[in-house]
Structure 1
Amino acid sequence: MAYVNAYQPPPPPKPAYGLHGPVPYDINVAFPLDLTQFETPRVKLTPFIPSVHAAKYHAAISDPDHFYRYYPFPGIEDPESYLLFMDTFVRQNPYSVLLAVIDKTTPDPDYPEWGGKIAGTIALLNYSPTNLSVELGVLCILPTFQRTHVATHAVGTLLKYCFTMPCASQSESGLGLRRVHWYAHPDNEPSLRLAARMGLKREGTLRWAWVLPVGKARGKTPRKTDLLAGPGRDTAIMAITWEDWEDGARETIKTQMARMDDTLVANSHRGMQL
């Protein structure tokens, strides 16, 4: 039987827009994004706009190698490489969006219009309208805001949006998804603990899921005859489904967010007494 191979190389990448992306900035999102649902009394999520947020975000990272130690992506320790990578990896994918996390409890006198200070990033990645699923990722909480209410509120806000049905009420609406998953380095205990605290369950480990850049720490040594020189990395998979959400995870997240609010209030009172 005759056959052909009509494969053609993919078209060249879209033209580079520079570090700040196109003007005006196009978030290029193909799924519903109701930003009125992306806010709590403590945090606000808004599209990450490089020309607006990048300088403050990168200035808050004193040790990029340590900050991004669990990430498999090459070159993101450099601010310029980070922005170009995120444009390709997130902005040019219409089923992904990168969000800036704004801590409303900490004013930024340089940008009062933000309603707070930038505390990190979080993203919805590879949304699937066919399978009603999405990945929650690029959760990078800046050092000053780690071990505070910020991560809990950011994750809880997006999980609520993901599982709330569209137009569930006049005040609430969401994507109505069946599944949200979370990928992490198996050694990243803070990430795994946060996911578990927010109701996600460990489903397993993808072995040798990534080829890391050469020189990247926390990798596995490949065979001597391997086709690539970079070390390997496993990926832990955690997930939460609509069944988990309705069987108690929704209440768990409310409790976690309220607990972090109580801690914040207690700490502020303690500071007033000092």
Structure 2
Amino acid sequence: MTNVFDQNFCFPVPAVLENPRLKLIPWDPSLHSNIYVQSIAPHPELFDYLPFGPFNSRKTFDPWFEERIHKQRGQIAFAIFDKTQGDSDKGFAGMIGLLNASSSHLSTEIGFVTILPAFQRSHVASNAVGLLLNWALNPPGPVPVDFALMGLGLRRVYWNANTLNTRSIALAERLGLKLEAVLRWDRVLPADRVAFARKDALRKDDPREGQPGRDTALLAICWDDWVNGGREKAVHVMERVS
């Protein structure tokens, strides 16, 4: 089915990004939002380290998607489908996307990553991230036939993660992103995320008393990393069976 939803993204958007094991389809609320909400509702823990969610209905998800993704020219989300499960909705594996994309600075961030529990610790996350890396970092024009898509020719792709989220950091590093910095006290978290925050006591009379802080690990891969073995490393990880 051709995707007709206006993505409002700052770069041209292909109808699908795929390899033999996975496909990423640009998010269409009429096609993907119901199954997403139904799938994540029983698993609020998916959002423990994320600055959004959880969502238990489209009444909460739809306004967030419209304001945080659709209205922003630098943001786009993709529905993840595991092709090894066939073409039915049983292969729906979650969401991933790009944010803070800049055509001026040729950079973007990978985010909005929510992989459903049934697809975790499998090929899904590495292939989803790998497909986005290939799209972002491959040069415009013809690219190797194994991906058969034109790249955006970006210079930099980066990844932000809560320093306590070791699985997220490990995933980024497996795909070739390098740790550049740890940003201390980078974000204010809601009071109910205290288990996923710094343990330091806040100062007296803090303007956000009761809301803990988060340190952020900043990782990135750049075009010169990519052409000097980075792409081959990502492809190797994507092809691993386990």
Structures share fold, TM-score greater than 0.5: yes
**1:52-67, aligned counterparts within 5 Å?**
52-61=31-40, 63-67=42-46
- 1:205–1:234 contact (8 Å) kept in structure 2: yes
Superposition CA RMSD, Å: 1.9
- Whether the 8 Å CA contact 1:72–1:210 is kept in 2: the answer is no
Deviations 1:17-56 (A, max 9, x none): xxxxxxx7432112122235x1011111112222321222
Q: 2:157 aligns with which of 172, 180, 186?
A: 180
The aligned residue for residue 121 of structure 1 is 95
Contact 1:64-1:77 within 8 A present in 2 as well = no
Work out whether residues 37 and 55 of structure 2, in 8 Å CA contact, stay in contact via their aligned partners in 1: no
1:92 corresponds to which residue? 71
Q: CA deviation at 1:222?
A: 2.5
Q: Corresponding residue for 1:81?
A: 60
Letter in 1 for 2:12: P
Count matched residues: 231
1:232-271 equivalent positions in 2, closer than 5 A: 232-260=213-241, 263=242
Indicate the residue corresponding to 1:33 in structure 2.
Answer: 13
Show the 5 A alignment for 1:124-163.
Answer: 124-163=98-137
**Which letter does structure 1 place at the counterpart of 2:224?**
E
Question: 79-88 or 178-187: which moved more?
Answer: 79-88
The CA distance in 2 between the partners of 1:29 and 1:71, in whole Å, is 22
Corresponding residue to 1:44 among 19, 23, 30 = 23
Q: State the alpha-carbon separation in 2 of the partners of residues 178 and 148 from structure 1.
A: 29
Q: Distance in 2 between matches of 1:137 and 1:123?
A: 5
**Which has the greater radius of gyration?**
1
User: Percent same amino acid among aligned pairs?
Assistant: 40
Offset of residue 69 of structure 1: 0.3
206, 214, 221: which is aligned to 1:226?
Answer: 206
Distance in 2 between residues matched to 1:81 and 1:213, nearest whole Å: 17
User: Shift of the alpha carbon at 1:249?
Assistant: 1.1
Structure 2 length as normaliser, TM-score?
0.88
Deviates further, 175-184 or 49-58: 49-58
- Kept in 1, the 8 Å contact 2:10–2:103? The answer is no
Distance 2:240 2:197 in 1: 36
Please tell me the residue identity of whatever aligns with 2:236. Answer: T
**Cα offset for 1:63?**
4.2
Query: How far, CA to CA, are the matches of 1:219 and 1:152 in structure 2?
Result: 26
Residue by residue, what CA displacement relative to the aligned partner does 1:145-202 show, whole Å, maximum 9, x if unpaired? 0011111111111101111111135944111011000000101111111101000001
Which of 44-53 and 133-142 deviates more? Answer: 44-53
Unaligned runs of 5+ in 1: 1-23, 264-274
Q: TM-score, normalised by structure 1?
A: 0.78
